[in-house]
């Protein structure tokens, strides 16, 4: 009986791997890899990592997709402006405050 449980659990886990979810996760990771260096222009690396999590959590799917387009290249003016717009949202500010990160100047 235990031999049957492991394959069943594996099949259940694989069924949970929805292609759309996988694509969203990749897009989110790509966007985060763009946001972290932008935030590092204004704060220390550990703070930038935490701030990037707040930015990503409060970005719309379209914004995430736009940010992800800059993966592998230096973030341009539009990308920096998009991050700044997300930072101005009350929910982003609350997230950053909860993580002990002050307002971003710049």
Summary mean pLDDT of the chain: 83
Confidence of residue 78 (pLDDT cuts 50, 70, 90): confident
Smallest CA-to-CA distance from 87 within 42, 56, 55 is with: 55
Largest CA distance in the chain: 62
Q: What would the mean pLDDT of 17-22 be, rounded to a whole number?
A: 69
Whole-prediction pTM? 0.77
**Residue whose tokens read 């700044």:** 84
């Amino acid at each position: 009986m235990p031999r049957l449980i492991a394959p069943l659990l594996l099949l259940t886990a694989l069924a949970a791997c929805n292609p759309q979810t996988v694509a969203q996760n990749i897009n989110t990771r790509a966007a985060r890899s763009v946001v972290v260096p932008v935030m590092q222009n204004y704060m220390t690396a550990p703070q930038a990592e935490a701030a990037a999590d707040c930015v990503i959590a409060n970005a719309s799917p379209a914004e995430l997709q736009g940010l992800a387009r800059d993966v592998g290249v230096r973030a341009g003016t539009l990308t920096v402006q998009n991050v700044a717009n997300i930072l101005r949202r009350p929910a982003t500010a609350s997230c950053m405050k909860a993580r002990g990160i002050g307002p971003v100047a710049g």
